[in-house]
Amino acid sequence: MRVVVSLMAVAAGAVLLSGCGKKQETAEQPASPNEPASAPAVPAGPTHEQAEALVATLPAPYNTGDIEKGRLTFGQCRACHTPEQGGPNMTGPNLWGVFGRKAASIQGFNYSDGLKASGITWDAAQIDKWITDPRAIVPDTRMSFLGLKNPQDRINVVAYLKTVTTAPQ
Protein backbone atom coordinates (compact mmCIF):
# COMPACT_ATOMS: atom_id res chain seq x y z
CA MET A 1 0.00 0.00 0.00
CA ARG A 2 2.77 2.35 0.91
CA VAL A 3 4.39 1.86 -2.48
CA VAL A 4 1.17 2.64 -4.26
CA VAL A 5 0.64 5.79 -2.24
CA SER A 6 4.12 7.12 -2.91
CA LEU A 7 3.81 6.32 -6.60
CA MET A 8 0.63 8.33 -6.68
CA ALA A 9 2.44 11.21 -5.04
CA VAL A 10 5.12 11.07 -7.73
CA ALA A 11 2.49 11.01 -10.44
CA ALA A 12 0.74 14.01 -8.91
CA GLY A 13 4.06 15.86 -8.81
CA ALA A 14 4.66 15.12 -12.46
CA VAL A 15 1.28 16.53 -13.37
CA LEU A 16 2.05 19.70 -11.45
CA LEU A 17 5.41 20.06 -13.15
CA SER A 18 3.99 19.71 -16.61
CA GLY A 19 1.32 22.27 -15.85
CA CYS A 20 2.43 25.57 -17.16
CA GLY A 21 5.80 26.72 -18.54
CA LYS A 22 8.54 25.22 -16.36
CA LYS A 23 10.07 28.48 -15.26
CA GLN A 24 6.94 30.21 -14.16
CA GLU A 25 5.28 27.76 -11.90
CA THR A 26 6.83 29.17 -8.74
CA ALA A 27 4.52 32.12 -9.27
CA GLU A 28 1.53 29.90 -8.57
CA GLN A 29 2.84 28.33 -5.43
CA PRO A 30 2.56 30.01 -2.06
CA ALA A 31 5.76 31.99 -1.60
CA SER A 32 7.89 31.03 1.36
CA PRO A 33 8.41 34.06 3.60
CA ASN A 34 12.19 33.69 3.28
CA GLU A 35 12.36 33.63 -0.49
CA PRO A 36 11.68 36.56 -2.76
CA ALA A 37 8.95 35.86 -5.31
CA SER A 38 11.43 35.97 -8.18
CA ALA A 39 14.22 33.71 -7.02
CA PRO A 40 17.59 34.20 -8.75
CA ALA A 41 17.32 30.69 -10.25
CA VAL A 42 15.10 32.31 -12.87
CA PRO A 43 17.11 35.34 -13.96
CA ALA A 44 14.89 36.66 -16.75
CA GLY A 45 11.49 36.17 -18.23
CA PRO A 46 8.01 37.13 -17.17
CA THR A 47 5.94 35.29 -14.58
CA HIS A 48 3.20 33.06 -15.89
CA GLU A 49 0.62 35.78 -15.25
CA GLN A 50 2.70 38.40 -17.04
CA ALA A 51 3.22 36.08 -19.99
CA GLU A 52 -0.51 35.39 -20.25
CA ALA A 53 -1.23 39.13 -20.07
CA LEU A 54 1.23 39.81 -22.89
CA VAL A 55 -0.34 37.14 -25.10
CA ALA A 56 -3.78 38.63 -24.38
CA THR A 57 -2.63 41.90 -26.01
CA LEU A 58 -2.21 40.12 -29.36
CA PRO A 59 -4.99 40.04 -31.95
CA ALA A 60 -6.83 36.77 -32.63
CA PRO A 61 -5.83 34.05 -33.26
CA TYR A 62 -2.42 34.77 -31.71
CA ASN A 63 -4.01 35.53 -28.32
CA THR A 64 -4.97 31.85 -28.17
CA GLY A 65 -1.41 30.62 -28.69
CA ASP A 66 0.02 27.97 -26.36
CA ILE A 67 3.07 29.55 -24.75
CA GLU A 68 4.67 26.29 -23.65
CA LYS A 69 4.27 24.64 -27.05
CA GLY A 70 5.56 27.82 -28.66
CA ARG A 71 8.62 27.72 -26.41
CA LEU A 72 9.40 24.21 -27.61
CA THR A 73 8.95 25.08 -31.29
CA PHE A 74 10.99 28.25 -30.81
CA GLY A 75 13.90 25.91 -30.11
CA GLN A 76 14.34 25.86 -33.89
CA CYS A 77 14.64 29.64 -33.97
CA ARG A 78 17.06 29.70 -31.03
CA ALA A 79 19.66 28.07 -33.22
CA CYS A 80 19.99 31.52 -34.81
CA HIS A 81 18.18 34.04 -32.57
CA THR A 82 18.26 35.21 -28.97
CA PRO A 83 14.95 36.81 -27.93
CA GLU A 84 15.99 38.30 -24.58
CA GLN A 85 16.80 41.93 -23.91
CA GLY A 86 20.50 42.56 -24.48
CA GLY A 87 20.96 39.14 -26.08
CA PRO A 88 23.63 38.90 -28.75
CA ASN A 89 23.05 38.75 -32.47
CA MET A 90 23.97 35.32 -33.75
CA THR A 91 23.36 34.07 -37.28
CA GLY A 92 20.12 36.04 -36.93
CA PRO A 93 19.52 39.34 -35.16
CA ASN A 94 18.44 39.61 -31.53
CA LEU A 95 14.63 39.71 -31.39
CA TRP A 96 14.03 41.81 -28.25
CA GLY A 97 11.35 44.41 -29.03
CA VAL A 98 10.57 42.86 -32.41
CA PHE A 99 6.82 43.56 -32.13
CA GLY A 100 6.43 47.07 -33.55
CA ARG A 101 10.02 47.15 -34.81
CA LYS A 102 10.89 48.05 -38.37
CA ALA A 103 12.45 45.16 -40.28
CA ALA A 104 16.24 45.19 -40.54
CA SER A 105 16.70 47.87 -37.89
CA ILE A 106 19.34 46.34 -35.58
CA GLN A 107 22.42 48.54 -36.06
CA GLY A 108 25.45 46.67 -37.30
CA PHE A 109 23.62 43.46 -38.25
CA ASN A 110 24.35 42.34 -41.79
CA TYR A 111 20.81 42.14 -43.20
CA SER A 112 19.91 41.21 -46.76
CA ASP A 113 19.18 44.10 -49.12
CA GLY A 114 15.70 42.65 -49.63
CA LEU A 115 14.77 42.76 -45.94
CA LYS A 116 16.21 46.29 -45.65
CA ALA A 117 14.02 47.41 -48.57
CA SER A 118 10.92 45.45 -47.46
CA GLY A 119 9.21 48.25 -45.56
CA ILE A 120 7.86 45.66 -43.09
CA THR A 121 7.01 46.63 -39.53
CA TRP A 122 6.82 43.43 -37.51
CA ASP A 123 3.54 42.51 -35.88
CA ALA A 124 1.98 39.14 -35.10
CA ALA A 125 0.53 38.62 -38.58
CA GLN A 126 3.73 39.71 -40.36
CA ILE A 127 5.88 37.42 -38.23
CA ASP A 128 3.43 34.58 -38.93
CA LYS A 129 3.80 35.14 -42.69
CA TRP A 130 7.57 35.46 -42.38
CA ILE A 131 8.05 32.16 -40.56
CA THR A 132 5.71 30.38 -42.97
CA ASP A 133 8.27 30.89 -45.75
CA PRO A 134 10.80 33.71 -45.39
CA ARG A 135 11.93 33.39 -49.00
CA ALA A 136 8.41 34.02 -50.27
CA ILE A 137 8.54 37.46 -48.59
CA VAL A 138 12.18 38.37 -49.26
CA PRO A 139 13.69 36.22 -52.04
CA ASP A 140 17.30 37.12 -51.14
CA THR A 141 16.80 36.75 -47.39
CA ARG A 142 19.73 35.58 -45.30
CA MET A 143 17.37 33.64 -43.01
CA SER A 144 17.90 30.06 -44.18
CA PHE A 145 14.81 28.58 -42.67
CA LEU A 146 12.36 26.47 -44.62
CA GLY A 147 9.42 27.63 -42.59
CA LEU A 148 6.84 26.21 -40.20
CA LYS A 149 4.08 24.64 -42.27
CA ASN A 150 1.64 24.02 -39.44
CA PRO A 151 -0.44 27.17 -38.74
CA GLN A 152 -0.94 26.23 -35.08
CA ASP A 153 2.83 25.94 -34.60
CA ARG A 154 3.21 29.47 -35.94
CA ILE A 155 0.45 30.83 -33.69
CA ASN A 156 2.14 29.23 -30.67
CA VAL A 157 5.58 30.59 -31.64
CA VAL A 158 4.21 34.11 -32.15
CA ALA A 159 2.53 33.96 -28.71
CA TYR A 160 5.71 32.70 -27.04
CA LEU A 161 7.84 35.24 -28.89
CA LYS A 162 5.64 38.05 -27.58
CA THR A 163 6.26 36.92 -23.99
CA VAL A 164 10.05 36.89 -24.27
CA THR A 165 10.62 39.96 -26.45
CA THR A 166 8.35 42.44 -24.66
CA ALA A 167 8.73 44.03 -21.24
CA PRO A 168 5.84 42.97 -18.95
CA GLN A 169 3.33 45.75 -18.37
Among 27, 55, 67, 104, binds ligand HEC (CB under 6 A): 104
Establish if 96 lies at the interface with ligand HEC (CB under 6 A): no
Among 112, 123, 129, 152, binds ligand HEC (CB under 6 A): 112
Listed in sequence order, the residues at least 6 apart from 77 whose beta carbon sits closer than 8 Å to its beta carbon are 92, 131, 145, 157
Among 122, 155, 160, 165, binds ligand HEC (CB under 6 A): 122
Give the Cα separation of 118 and 136 in Å (integer): 12
User: What is the gyration radius of the CA atoms in the chain, in angstroms?
Assistant: 19
Establish if 164 lies at the interface with ligand HEC (CB under 6 A): no
Establish if 91 lies at the interface with ligand HEC (CB under 6 A): yes
Q: What is the identity of the amino acid at 70?
A: G
Establish if 76 lies at the interface with ligand HEC (CB under 6 A): yes
Establish if 42 lies at the interface with ligand HEC (CB under 6 A): no
Binding range to ligand HEC, per CB under 6 A, among 1-9, 39-47, 61-69, 138-146? 138-146
> Closest Cα partner for 132 from 157, 113, 109?
157
N-term to C-term CA, the chain: 49
Establish if 98 lies at the interface with ligand HEC (CB under 6 A): yes
Contact (Cβ atoms closer than 8 angstroms) between residue 125 and residue 158:
no
Contact (Cβ atoms closer than 8 angstroms) between residue 164 and residue 45:
yes
Establish if 155 lies at the interface with ligand HEC (CB under 6 A): no
> Closest Cα partner for 117 from 106, 99, 102, 132?
102
Among 55, 67, 115, 164, binds ligand HEC (CB under 6 A): 115
Site residues (vs ligand HEC, CB under 6 A): 76-77, 79-81, 91-93, 95, 98, 103-106, 111-112, 115, 122, 127, 130-131, 138, 141-145, 148, 157, 161
